[in-house]
Amino acid sequence: MTTLSHAPTSTRPVPNPKRSLITRLNMGTGIIVGAIFCWGTYYAMRAGRDMTDTHNVNKVLLSSMLMWSFGFLVGIGALIGPFRWLIGKDLTAEEQLYLAGDGQGIKRYFKYCTDHKVVGIQYLVGVMTMLGVGGTMAMMIRTNLATPGSHLVTPNVYNSLVGLHGITMIIAMIIVATGPFGNYIMPIMIGARDMAFPRLNALSWWVLFTAIPVLCSAWFLGGIPTGWTAYAPLSDQAGPGMNAFLATIIIFALSTAVAGMNITTTVIAMRAKGMKWNRVPIFVVGATISVALAIPAFPTFMLAMIQTGMDRTIATGFYDANVGGSGWLYANLFWIMGHPEVYVILIPGVAALMEIAPVFVRKPLFSYNAAIAGFAGIAGLSVLVWAHHMYMSGWMPSLNGPFMITTEFISVPTGLLFLVLVGTLWRGRPWMKLPMLSVYAFLWNFLIGGVTGVYLSDVPADNYLHGSMFVTAHFHYTLMGAAFTGAMAGLVYWFPKMTGRMLNERAGYIAFWLIQIGFNVLFLGMFMAGAQGQPRRVADYAFVYEHSNMISTAGAYTVGIGMITLLWAVVHSWRNGKIAPMNPWGAKTLEWTVPYPVPLENFDVEPIITSDPYGYGKAAN
Amino acid sequence: MANHTEELLPPTPGQRVSKFLSRKDVRQTFILGAFFTLVFIILGVWIYPHWMPNVLSKEMQADEDIMIWFTVISAPIAGVILAIAMESFLNMHRGDTPPEDGIAIRTHTPVVIIWSSVSVLFIILALVWGMVSMNTDAVKAATDAPNALVVDVTGSQWAWSFNYPAQNITTHTLNLPVDRPVTFNIISADVNHSFWPVQLGVKVDANRLTTTVIHTTPDKIGVLDVKCAELCGLYHAYMETSGQVESTTDFNNWVSSIQAQGGTQ
């Protein structure tokens, strides 16, 4: 296993590997080399090709985008280590220490830095940027839908907004908890000095980073008409912007594979002495199950996209019925990823709330085993439910019954998650700080998301609801109302450890209430539109849906103001907030035993664990 | 720490339950739970018939009933969760320092078992309901098929067209006679669409080169909206048309008028 040498922090000399290429590389050199690779590929491949043939256009664009990603990784120095292995060497100890970024100040955030805390902050800023961009697109969608007959944007721009909002938010939400907190907090929580594979950790972030400009390029290539589901054959027919979508997914799937392996290995192999499986903090369990679920899920999405790419570049016709392919093949591959994926998003958010609730209620987590059974049950069943998205597709109506059974049985482990949280609240006197408020918001939102999910899982009801705004409202209740609420609680809760400062409480409360109230207005309005019969992903609608859409848009603006307030609170508090004590919440997990700034390799003395971190409370009567 | 002399457990289960029920927080939780349950039941029964469009077929009625009854049967579960949450919320501690520790309830096996069993029962109930409803539709479709009106539906970017083979007409509006079973054979001329005659409560995708079939029986006279429920490109939002469920006489007159125009609308 490649890890950093475990020299004690205090006696380590400042690394200074002069004359090493590594010291000269950063994000800037990455962008330059990436751009050279990208444009080089573009012009080299264009030469002599008939660019009026769309297959050739797709070949050139897709290759250029993937070469940008590769070039960036070359330019930032990600491949120096593997290259040295090829010639039978490795980075010197000094170079490895240099890569860990100790003492390099703010510059290390723009380098290929292997310190898990730096990677965590990179993910945090990245996630917030993506949520901001995705949220802005959501505001534009809702503005266009405020009144019927609105032509604020053209149908083409509208469809692109829907698709790019979708994929931006899906990517952001997949990493929203496991990215920042899974990288920054989780290794400290389990008493590790770093992740198992620090270089892969840096790689997972910088690979993901290269997907961002690729996705943005979709706008300049005419947008995507397909929504984030990218169903074939619409995706075969789509214009050059579709290539950006394909390349983004391929790059993103690589990043999640790398990150998933790294987090799983770290938790399995690097827990502190005495941290048996029944003493692992529940957030760590949740994050691990989530990324472990992502490991088999995303490759099918990548495969689906590679096949779409082959259809578009060399006319293989995997999904083209005219030459013997089938769009249902795509739909199956997509949802085999797509349904586990929603639980990849949900589980870490819930786990963060389960970590938070005992601290503020000052009671042990109610039934740790039920929580694990809940996560494991969801993860296990989630790979068997994908075709409930295809009840109405015409593919195998005879399988609708079996898929209805597996889908509805997911309610049982999901019910356990509710039980754990309400059991923790039971007879408690909660300390009503901002993270704790999110627990209540979660219970309300996820209840609505869960019950409406049962309607949708029912084949006859789905006859009416499938493809309507009701579905959109349902999954926003689970992804935003539940998972995002959990991640926001995590941000407020771990903010003191990640920034050394407390989040501004007043601004935090205002943001919280604006977001939660606005959110409920927004999506209750959307449930109404869906029940009335408005299809999803429409740029325009009939007058009967006027009121429900107006309600939704009003809610959306409220959420928008709340999000801006939250952003202000985070930025302001990061710079000028009250200095945080080492353990502001009186919690018992390991991350609160290290000072801020957390030293390189976290612990001077490796901790030894003798109990789980939920030893709150007087004995029961 | 542990102080077992203060509150000894009563000796029999019956006494334990009655002591539990006499606690103030328990009684408050029950009242809150009853309140939330009632609110959800009223909302469920009122909201969906109020929101959803006209019911023009048994299939649509079944869809609406499921939404109403699933809300009603999940109301007590929602009520319990919200009641416990509200009870603890009202008992909050404010201030800058954490409150005293609460009671160390690590787990409570009977509660975990009861909770899991109730959710399994709820799911089985929902499943049986869904299966019976699916089966009813399938049996009805099979028995109705021989004398059903056949309509071949083609979705193309971005319009619907309807071909009535027996009547030998092709139209852009969907007119159907009341109380006669109808079989839709759906196909796409290009990308995926989804055929959704809203008030009939049925839906299926239109796929390229593969026909999908749905059955329904319109049983009331009224206006139909036909929409596309699968994103199909640029003008997806405008891929809609209207129609009519009408008396057999009106339907026959409509057919004759189209035939008089040469068979196309």
Q: Which of A160, A414, A419, A448 is most worth mutating to test chain B (most B CB atoms within 10 A of its CB)?
A: A419
What is residue A453's three-state secondary structure?
helix
- pLDDT, residue B262, reads 87
Beta bridge partners of B264: B170
- pLDDT, residue B27, reads 93
Write out chain A residues lying below 8 Å of B125, CB-based.
none
Minimum-distance CB partner of B234 among A156, A229, A618: A156
User: Does residue B229 register a pLDDT over 50?
Assistant: yes
**Chain B from 55 to 74: CB within 8 A of any A CB:** 59-60, 62-64, 66-67, 70-71, 74
Q: What confidence category does residue A10 fall into, taking pLDDT thresholds of 50, 70 and 90?
A: very low
What is the percentage of chain A residues whose pLDDT exceeds 70? 96
Tell me A484's DSSP state: I
Subunit contact B231:A405, Cβ cutoff 8 A? no
Subunit contact A463:B66, Cβ cutoff 8 A? no
Question: Cβ of B37 under 8 Å from any chain A Cβ?
Answer: no
Query: How far apart are alpha carbons B49 and A309 in whole angstroms?
Result: 46
Average pLDDT, integer, range A324-342: 94
Q: What confidence category does residue A619 fall into, taking pLDDT thresholds of 50, 70 and 90?
A: low
- pLDDT, residue A3, reads 37
Q: How far is CA B158 from the centre of its chain?
A: 27
Q: What confidence category does residue A348 fall into, taking pLDDT thresholds of 50, 70 and 90?
A: very high
User: Does residue B3 register a pLDDT over 70?
Assistant: no
pLDDT tens digits along B142-159: 898 888 999 999 999 999
In chain B, the residue whose alpha carbon lies closest to the alpha carbon of A145 is B237
Which of these ranges, A8-17, A386-395, B179-188, B199-208, has the smallest mean pLDDT? A8-17
Q: Is residue A427 exposed (0-12), middle (13-18) or buried (19+ Cβ within 10 Å)?
A: buried
Residue pair A188/A602 in contact by the 8 Å Cβ criterion: yes
Write out chain A residues lying below 8 Å of B88, CB-based.
361, 425-430
Average pLDDT, integer, range B201-218: 94
Upstream peptide bond of A233 is cis (omega within 30 degrees of 0): yes
Query: How far apart are alpha carbons A404 and B132 in whole angstroms?
Result: 13
Distance from CA of B60 to the nearest CA of A (A): 7
Average pLDDT, integer, range A110-120: 94
Distance from CA of B73 to the nearest CA of A (A): 10
SS (H, E, C) chain B: CCCCCCCCCCCCHHHHHHHHHCCHHHHHHHHHHHHHHHHHHHHHHHHHHHHCCCCCEHHHHHHHHHHHHHHHHHHHHHHHHHHHHHHHHHCCECCCCCCCCCEECCCCHHHHHHHHHHHHHHHHHHHHHHHHHHHHHHHHHHHHHHHCEEEEEEEECCEEEEEECCCCEEECCEEEECCCCEEEEEEECCCCEEEEEHHHCCCEEEEECECEEEEECECCCEEEEEEECCCCCCCHHHCCEEEEEECHHHHHHHHHHHHHCCCEC
Query: How far apart are alpha carbons A96 and B100 in whole angstroms?
Result: 47
User: Does residue B13 register a pLDDT over 90?
Assistant: no
User: Does residue A618 register a pLDDT over 80?
Assistant: no
Minimum-distance CB partner of B103 among A447, A468, A618: A618
Query: For A596, how many CA atoms within 13 A lie in the half-sphere containing its CB?
Result: 18
Name the helix (H) or strand (E) containing A369. Answer: helix A368-382
Mean pLDDT over the full length of chain A = 92
Q: What's this model's pTM, rounded to 2 decimal places?
A: 0.94
Average pLDDT, integer, range A4-18: 52
Residue pair A494/A185 in contact by the 8 Å Cβ criterion: yes
- pLDDT, residue B45, reads 93
In chain B, the N- to C-terminal Cα span, in Å, equals 85
Kindly tell me the sign of the dihedral angle through the C-alpha atoms of A33, A36, A39, A40.
negative
Write out chain A residues lying below 8 Å of B223, CB-based.
none
Q: Which domains does chain A have, with CATH numbers?
A: 113-593 (1.20.210.10)
Average pLDDT, integer, range A408-416: 95
Subunit contact A412:B51, Cβ cutoff 8 A? no
User: Does residue B34 register a pLDDT over 50?
Assistant: yes
- pLDDT, residue A8, reads 42
Question: Cβ of B130 under 8 Å from any chain A Cβ?
Answer: yes
Q: Which domains does chain B have, with CATH numbers?
A: 13-91+107-143 (no CATH), 148-260 (2.60.40.420)
Subunit contact A401:B81, Cβ cutoff 8 A? no
Q: What confidence category does residue A1 fall into, taking pLDDT thresholds of 50, 70 and 90?
A: very low
Mean pLDDT over the full length of chain B = 91
Write out chain A residues lying below 8 Å of B98, CB-based.
360, 362, 431, 585-586
Write out chain A residues lying below 8 Å of B235, CB-based.
155
Q: What confidence category does residue A15 fall into, taking pLDDT thresholds of 50, 70 and 90?
A: low
pLDDT tens digits along A419-460: 999 999 999 999 999 999 999 999 999 999 999 999 999 999
- pLDDT, residue A121, reads 96
